[in-house]
Structures are given as C-alpha cells and as structure tokens.
Amino acid sequence: MYMIAWFDINCFNIFWEHKVSKKWILWETEEWVHRLIDKTIPYKKNKPFHIFDICTGCGYIALSLATHVSHCNILATDISQKAITLSKENYQENISKIQGATTIEFKQVDVFDHNALEKMMLQGNKGFDLIVSNPPHITLDEYKHLDPDVKQWEESRALVAEEQGMAVHRRIIELASPVLLNKQKQEDNFEKTRVPRLVMEFGETHQVEPLKRMMLDKNLFEDIEF
C-alpha cells in the first residue's frame, strides 16, 4: 500500500509504504531541512561533501539534500530493510533531479551495532562532514496516547525511543566524534560558510536541556542551536 505526495517546495515525488515510514513530512522537518540546504549550498566544494543520514526512513532528507546540493556523497541508513527498499524506490523516482556529481548510497544498518558500523566505515566511508537525522523521539507513554490513525501508519520503532525519547540521539552524539571529519581534513571555506556538523530533529521541549548536556559533555561542538 502506497501514498504519493508532491512537494511544491522540493519538487520531487515521495512514496510511503504502510508501516514503514512517516505518512507525511511534518512542516518542522521541511523547515530545518531547507535551512540546512541554504547553509550548505554556498559551500564551494573542491572535493565531495560527505553526509551521513541516520534513520533515513523514506529517504526524504537525503533526497532533499541531493536535489539541491551538488558534489555530495550521501550515505543513508536505516534499521529497517523495508525502509531502505522504499528509499531506493524514491531515489529511482527522482534520479533525474539529483544534482551533478552527487551520489546516494542506501544501507541497512543498526546504529547501535558497533561491529556493523565499524565494518561500514572500513568499506570506504572514512568520515563525514555532516550528520543529519530524524530519529525516533517520542516516549512509550506518548506513543500510547497517539492518534490511532498515526499508529496504523507508523511502525512503532520509527517513533519510539528509550531514555525519554532520546536514546537514538545519545547514540548519534556518541558517533559524532569518531565519524565526523576533523577540521584539519576539511577545506578552509567549510568553516567560513558555517556549515553545521550535526542536525537532528527531536520531540518536545523537555528534551532540550538533556540533549544540550549530551552535546556539551562531548566537548565537540562550538555552537549548539535549538
């Protein structure tokens, strides 16, 4: 079972499959993705810009970046093989709109599987300039009170996370240090254009302070914006 929607802003088609990915793209997701695109486009790349999309779902974030930003290598991962299959279908549906010299690779990977991630990095992914993610970010209690229509369309593991909805966020923050390229390996104009290093969507305001503490504890990021 599929739904198809046309986004006038992004100008590409996205399919959703029952119980795989989000039934719709929330305006909040569209907003931060386009803010990120605006920050990334001015970056003049003399070599590929490497992006790691974690919990890609239907592939919306990866495709948004690929259709606007040139000379990118995007690795899009998800724990669900059905989601990866769907993402590949969406890629094929929109391949003519992908920017020049931009590639997307889709892989089924559990971000909590250390060995799988290590193997993936050894297979040619030496590091990334940017991590993006719209991970599961609601609590089990919040899930219990969700509209039945949402539950019908959404696979629970695409929505619910432990640690008050922040378990996947914590894991991504832990991955940032070994996965992100250090400044010495980036081009000078990367810092000048203020391209973000890590962008994640989260749920409610009660998550702001815990997430900020997680980020500060890593002592990896100079500026944190919510």
Cα angle: 193, vertex 100, 198; to 5 degrees = 40
Task: Give the burial class of 47: count Cβ atoms within 10 A of its Cβ; 0-12 exposed, 13-18 middle, 19 or more buried.
Answer: exposed
Q: How many helices (H) and strands (E) in the chain?
A: 10, 7
Question: Cβ(94)–Cβ(67) under 8 Å?
Answer: yes
Secondary structure letter of residue 72 according to DSSP: E
Domain range list for the chain: 2-218
CATH number of 2-218: 3.40.50.150
Q: Which of 206, 200, 217, 220 lies closest to 33, judged by CA?
A: 200
Sequence-ordered strand ranges (E) for 79-144: 103-108, 130-133
Task: Count other Cβ atoms within 10 Å, centred on residue 21.
Answer: 27
Query: For each successive 10 residues of the chain (226 residues), what is the average pLDDT?
Result: 38 56 63 88 76 93 92 93 92 89 93 86 77 93 84 81 94 90 56 75 90 87 77
- What is the biggest distance separating any 2 CA atoms in the chain, rounded to whole angstroms? 50
Q: Whole-angstrom Cα distance, residue 186 to residue 54?
A: 21
The predicted model scores a pTM of 0.85
User: In this predicted structure, what is the pLDDT of residue 103?
Assistant: 93
Q: Which of 17, 23, 161 is nearest to 90 (CA)?
A: 17
Secondary structure of residue 141 in the 3-state scheme = helix
Q: How many CB atoms lie within 10 A of CB 174?
A: 14
pLDDT of residue 146: 85
Determine the residue type at 69: V
The Cα–Cα gap between 16 and 82 comes to 11
Residue 151: predicted pLDDT = 75
